[in-house]
Amino acid sequence: MSDDVVTKGPLDIRAVLAALPHRYPMLLVDRVEEIVVDKSIRAIKAVSFNEGFFQGHFPGRPIMPGVLIVEALAQAAGVLAVESLGLSGSGKLVYFMAIDGAKFRTPVEPGCLLTLEVEFVQKRASVCKFAGRALVDGKLAAEANFTAMIADPPAN
Q: What pLDDT does 1 receive?
A: 44
Residue 91 neighbours by CB distance under 10 Å: 8
Residues 67-112 pLDDT 10s = 999 999 999 999 999 999 888 777 888 899 999 999 999 999 999 9
Contact at 8 Å (CB) between 45 and 91? Answer: no
Task: Please indicate whether residue 57 is annotated as part of the active site.
Answer: yes
The whole-number pLDDT of residue 145 equals: 98
Give the pLDDT of residue 87. Answer: 82
For residues 125 and 43, what is the distance between their CA atoms, to the nearest angstrom? 23
Query: What do you get for the CA distance between the two ends of the chain, in Å?
Result: 43
Give CA–CA dist 8/24, Å, rounded: 25
Alpha-carbon distances, residue 32 vs 41, 76, 80, 99, 147 (angstroms): 7, 8, 10, 23, 21
Q: CA-to-CA distance for 88 and 70, rounded, in angstroms?
A: 22
> Which residues of the chain have a pLDDT value below 50?
1-2
Among the listed residues 57, 105, 123, 133, the single catalytic one is 57
**Measured distance CA(148)–CA(130) in Å, rounded:** 8
- Give the pLDDT of residue 153: 83
Residue 6 has a pLDDT of 84
Query: What's the predicted TM-score (pTM) here?
Result: 0.93
Measure the CA angle with vertex 66, ends 129 and 134; round to 5°: 55
Domains of the chain: 7-151 (3.10.129.10)
What local confidence, expressed as pLDDT, does residue 38 receive? Answer: 94
CA distance 20 to 12: 13
